[in-house]
Chains A and B, each alone.
Chain A
């Protein structure tokens, strides 16, 4: 199992390095002079640009610049925001808890709803319950997050007045954003859970379990579920990344001060250091999540452990 863990961790290293390179190179891919992009001024004089280039180290070879960027990033220095002049790392640090809270709440809802719907569907295959659950799931994957959020605000905030429409600290302000963010993941997990469970339920060892007289609940939860859940767990890792990036839309709609809203505002304000910082952080979290999912396999599925 140690070999497996070591191999997985080693495989993640090139991804992390290449990802940071892509983020670093954004500065040079944007049409225009990096120096003027970096200070956000379009009308600087050539002398001033040359000075900036020297101060920022843009006159050095590109690999030296990347090494510098990576070294600083490793030490938590992501540059300064062009808008607020505060360190990007501080901007990210103050907003990250909001995004994490939202994504975690949405994940809990998505897992509860997705597992529930998928299980019920699989256990009542080809009945009205199954059809209804899968119709709900199909709508879930077809309704855009941003529209669902607007509908929820119109109904629960403006019409009924039950919940706040914009960000508000505490649980009440979290409900609508989390629910609208969760729906797509819930629907995806439900579909996957259903097909995975159906596949496992057909297997011989479950027929044996039933034949020897085990109760239905034990067959389902002790024998079928642990095997059915493996592919769903991979999807959960991917879904969490989807939730983090889905927060871009949800946070903008609910005016939640999180990383998603920060990156959208920064793109609109041409605040490149902030864009780079947020994207790097989100991508690294996602890579780390996927690594954790891969590693968790080893604990869940003994076949991998003994490979």
Chain B
């Protein structure tokens, strides 16, 4: 192809979407706040004013003030430092869990949609069973099996998030498989693996990316919920959900213990939700996820 150079700037799905995304103020702000939180999590040792797990009983339950901006907990640990370190757990939870959902969900969805028949039938029954355990229940089943700790919480939340990816990827793969260029690739002698990864996968990418951004806040809340129930991360590692749970015993005397970690969760979740909504509208205004 040696056609004349394009007269206009080349436009495609991604550049169009990026342009629309930047114009959406809510989405841009959400994305910015999220990046900021990721940066805080990465730089936690430099940013935290205090040791997040160092006990200092003489300063226990101090209200927010000049010395400890967000107060201290029952062991005299600085709440702000614990929130800053807790961002690491939440961000990791969001990314790892959704990575598990997306990897497992995409592979199963592609197999199901591309091969159809008995493969599809079997995978869809598995999805039905996964969906039979609503909300946090599937995660509880997995944690009951693997034992309560951060690793199993991530796996549990990741697997619970899989069905939605399987369904969306399967739907797209089903549609793409019938298209002529896939047939052409097959005639040209491409193997199934090559067709699936080179020709089908790129076409299901847009909904998957949207689902990833909308899946991260859900994973963060589920992870925090498991820690809150004492089924996630083990103390004394700072985690927002676990901090809320500890704060429950001091609600009548020290409101700051159970207020600030919750604000942190709402901030990150709201930020990613805003960004995800914007991304969905930018990538495909007709997409309904």
Contacts and interface: CB of A to CB of B under 8 A. Distances in A.
Interface of A: 14-15, 18-19, 22-23, 26, 29-31, 138-139, 141-147, 150-151, 153-154, 158, 195, 238, 241-242, 244-246, 248-249, 252-253, 263-264, 267-268, 272, 275, 279, 282-283, 286-287
B44 to A, nearest CB: 22
Contact of A151 (B140, B262, B265): B262
Contacts of B192: none
Chain A to chain B: the 8 pairs with minimum beta-carbon distance, closest first: A241-B134, A245-B135, A147-B262, A142-B270, A142-B269, A18-B129, A245-B137, A19-B132
Contacts of B247: 150
28 contacts: A14-B125, A18-B129, A18-B132, A19-B132, A23-B141, A30-B144, A142-B266, A144-B262, A146-B244, A147-B265, A150-B244, A151-B262, A238-B134, A241-B134, A242-B135, A248-B140, A248-B229, A249-B229, A253-B248, A264-B230, A267-B144, A268-B148, A275-B140, A279-B133, A279-B140, A282-B137, A283-B132, A286-B134
Contact of B258 (A23, A29, A145, A154): A154
B255 interface: yes
B16 interface: no
B99 to A, nearest CB: 22
Contacts of A272: 144
Contacts of B144: 26, 30, 267, 272, 275, 279
Interface stretch (B4-12, B51-59, B100-108, B220-228): B220-228
B35 interface: no
Given A14-B128, A252-B229, A264-B231, A138 B141 contact: no
A249 B225 CA distance: 7
B241 interface: yes
Nearest to B134: A241
Nearest to B221: A144
B273 interface: yes
Contacts of B237: none
B219 interface: no
Interface in B120-154: 125-126, 128-129, 132-137, 140-141, 143-145, 147-148
Given A26-B141, A29-B145, A151-B262, A138 B230 contact: no
B251 A264 contact: no
A30 B229 contact: no
Contact of B228 (A142, A151, A249): A249
Among A146, A244, A253: residue with most chain B CB under 10 A: A146
Given A30-B144, A154-B258, A142 B273 contact: yes
A249 to B, nearest CB: 6
Given A147-B261, A153-B251, A248-B137, 4 more contacts: A15-B132, A18-B129, A19-B132, A30-B144
A22 B133 CA distance: 11
Contact of A241 (B129, B135, B245): B135
Contacts of B274: 138
B147 to A, nearest CB: 8
Contact of B251 (A154, A244, A252, A287): A154
Nearest to B251: A154
Interface in B237-285: 241, 244-245, 247-248, 251-252, 255, 258-259, 261-262, 265-266, 269-270, 273-274
B96 to A, nearest CB: 19
A252 B226 CA distance: 12
Contacts of B134: 238, 241-242, 244-245, 282-283, 286
A240 to B, nearest CB: 9
B217 interface: yes
B128 A142 contact: no
A115 B274 CA distance: 22
Contacts of B132: 15, 18-19, 283, 286-287
Contacts of B241: 146
A258 B120 CA distance: 38
Contacts of B231: 264, 267-268
A144 B144 CA distance: 23
Contacts of A242: 134-135
A158 B135 CA distance: 30
Contacts of A139: 266, 270
Nearest to B268: A142
Contacts of B135: 241-242, 244-246, 248
B218 to A, nearest CB: 9
Among B136, B144, B224: residue with most chain A CB under 10 A: B144
A151 B137 CA distance: 24
Contacts of B221: 144
B120 to A, nearest CB: 14
B97 to A, nearest CB: 15
A147 B266 contact: yes
B217 A279 contact: no
A264 B229 contact: yes
A287 B132 CA distance: 6
